[in-house]
Amino acid sequence: MKIRGAEAVMQSLVQEKVETIFGYPGGAIMPIYDALYDFRDSVNHVLVRHEQGAIHAAQGFARTSGKVGVCFATSGPGATNLITGLADAMIDSTPVVCITGQVASHLLGTDAFQETDVIGISMPVTKWNIQVTRAEDISGAIARAFYIARSGRPGPVLVDITKDAQFGMVDFSYEPCTKIRSYQPTPVLDEQSLQEAAVLINQAKKPYILVGQGIFLSNAEKEILDFAEKTGIPVASTLLGLGSFPSDHPLYVGYLGMHGNYAPNVLTNECDVLIAIGMRFDDRVTGDVSRYAKQAKVIHIDIDKAELNKIIKAEVAIHADAKDALLKLSALVNQNEHPQWLQQFRDLEAVEKSEVVDEAVHPSSDQLKMAEVVNLLSEKTDGKAIIVTDVGQHQMISSRYYKYRGHRNNVTSGGLGTMGFGLPAAIGAKLGNPEQTVVAIIGDGGFQMTIQELGTILQSKVDIKILILNNNFLGMVRQWQQLFFDRRYSFTEIVNPNFTAIAKGYSIDALKIEERNQLDDALTTMLNSKGAFLLEVVVEQEENVFPMVETGASVSEIRLN
């Protein structure tokens, strides 16, 4: 039986076991939406309020569920509104398949209404993209899109389908893609490299493990735990790796980066063997590269060969899936302990606690601080809620003071740093994990970039908790203006609307607090609420995030104040 190309799209998605789609209809994708009408019982389509919301929601869904996120958008402005999310997903290795409608093939290149060269525009920010102009090519393109999105180092894929292809008739069949000539997503482990790495690790006096999101992406949480416990090596995490190693484990020494913990930054420049797994040596982690871990022999494990030796020269570069590499490496290393080396981390941890943490979580000032809010939220949820953050000071505060103890429960925009990410990503995270508590921690600035997605929460009845930390500033920029631009606060003070009134306009229960004695009850009310809830907490305007590695500084020059 012949079916329309639009129905072939839906049948292909069903074959890929897609149950949730985020999207926004329009003229060029209308045939696909018409086909979607007949799949309403098996596919949940979430009508967002902006296409950027669709892709960020798909990212949140993918990051927390381990599945491929899917979104629809129409041609022209609909497709271009996906670009920020595609760039975000690309740099953060998030598997997303975007299907966009396109004008009819005979109109391509004519500047037709709502025609844009989305293939050209999206090429730098997608792992793969394709324009389909014939109905008979639809199922093959979608099969390939899912395979590429989820295999190897995951990433976003875009399939652009012309309107005549959607209307065209085709004898439908679907064959999942399992390989593509010249594309080898799973590297063959080099046994010699593993042997060399094991020798370095067994001889090391001050070895140090850095874990990134690659641990999650390869499902290697057990393997990294077993490896660390066998070798007794201290473990630190990147921003996107938070939660991949238990934060309450005796070998966990903290969070790396510009606003990370004191000990893991300083002692990077004292270790003798540095084992980096599933992380890419981002500039926020390395600081001044010319002064980064020069004394150490570096072992770098990554599934993306392009990341090896790109930033930091490795003594042993292992092109491998993290899970596979850790399994085999664990068999080659000796049982060991490094108590004196580990104690160095604990000593510096005590310094940070005394000079930064104690005042942050138990402030002497009258005004509420972001750190105490996040710290109390962590205690109340036992570190097991899915925390979705936007970008800014609250993001760094959350990474420092929320003690992640859940599986895939840290969702944030890392590499691109996209303000507006938090609210729609939290929607996707909840729909991918309906039984878990999802808290979106957002600043007053970023919240207003995608505030319209409150309408998505209303219509789709998404039970997320929204925690706005409101300092009436674009806080991270203000902090830099204070420290490096003589307090010249150029356009960072922000006049905000009545957030609780807006939330109630969308039938979302809301509460605003300004006093410390209100905080405990307010968080309890938010967490125990039935349905979505917005809690606005007014915090100190000029609270800064410390420690901090200044731009151009070495990680060992991290400031405590």
Digit-coded pLDDT (tens) for 497-507: 999 999 999 99
pTM as predicted:
0.96
In whole angstroms, what is the distance from residue 266 CA to residue 288 CA? Answer: 13
Q: What pairs with residue 535 in β-bridges?
A: 467, 511
Question: Which tokens is 376 given?
Answer: 């109390």
Q: What digits encode the pLDDT tens for the residues 363-385?
A: 998 999 999 999 999 999 999 99
Catalytic annotation present for 114: yes
**321 Rama sector, left if φ>0, alpha if ψ -120 to 50, beta otherwise:** beta
Among residues 10, 16, 22, 51, which one is catalytic? Answer: 51
Question: Which tokens is 146 given?
Answer: 């899912």
Residue 141 has pLDDT above 90, yes or no: yes
- Could you identify the residue written with the tokens 């209307």? 167
Among residues 90, 102, 131, 163, which one is catalytic? Answer: 163
Q: What digits encode the pLDDT tens for the residues 172-202?
A: 999 999 999 989 999 999 999 999 999 999 9
Contact 98, 24 (CB under 8 A): no
Catalytic annotation present for 51: yes
**Pair type for strands 509-513 and 533-538:** parallel
> pLDDT-derived band of residue 527, with 50, 70 and 90 as boundaries?
very high
Residue 39 has pLDDT above 90, yes or no: yes
**Percent of the chain having pLDDT more than 70?**
100
Residue 138 has pLDDT above 90, yes or no: yes
SS3 track for 512-546: EECCHHHHHHHHHHHHHCCCCEEEEEECCCCCCCC
Contact 534, 510 (CB under 8 A): yes
**What pLDDT is recorded for position 1?**
81
Catalytic annotation present for 421: no
Q: What pairs with residue 100 in β-bridges?
A: 73, 160
Q: What digits encode the pLDDT tens for the residues 48-62?
A: 999 999 999 999 999
Among residues 476, 512, 526, 543, which one is catalytic? Answer: 476
Helix or strand (DSSP H, E) at 347:
helix 339-352
**What pLDDT is recorded for position 540?**
95
In whole angstroms, what is the distance from residue 71 CA to residue 22 CA? Answer: 5
**What pLDDT is recorded for position 235?**
98
- Could you identify the residue written with the tokens 């770098």? 300
Strands of 20-23's sheet in order across: 44-47, 20-23, 69-73, 96-102, 156-162, 128-132
Catalytic annotation present for 305: no
Among residues 114, 367, 452, 518, which one is catalytic? Answer: 114
In whole angstroms, what is the distance from residue 103 CA to residue 115 CA? Answer: 6
Instruction: Report residue 474 CA to chain centroid gap.
Output: 21
Q: For residue 552, how many other CB atoms are within 10 A of its CB?
A: 9
Long-range contacts of 496-500 (CB under 8 A, 24+ apart): 496/444, 496/448, 496/470, 496/472, 497/448, 499/444, 499/447, 499/468, 499/470, 499/534, 499/536, 500/534, 500/536
> pLDDT-derived band of residue 406, with 50, 70 and 90 as boundaries?
confident
Catalytic annotation present for 370: no
Residue 401 has pLDDT above 90, yes or no: yes
Residue 467 has pLDDT above 90, yes or no: yes
> Terminus-to-terminus CA distance in the chain, angstroms?
70
Nearest to 479 by CA among 489, 494, 469: 489
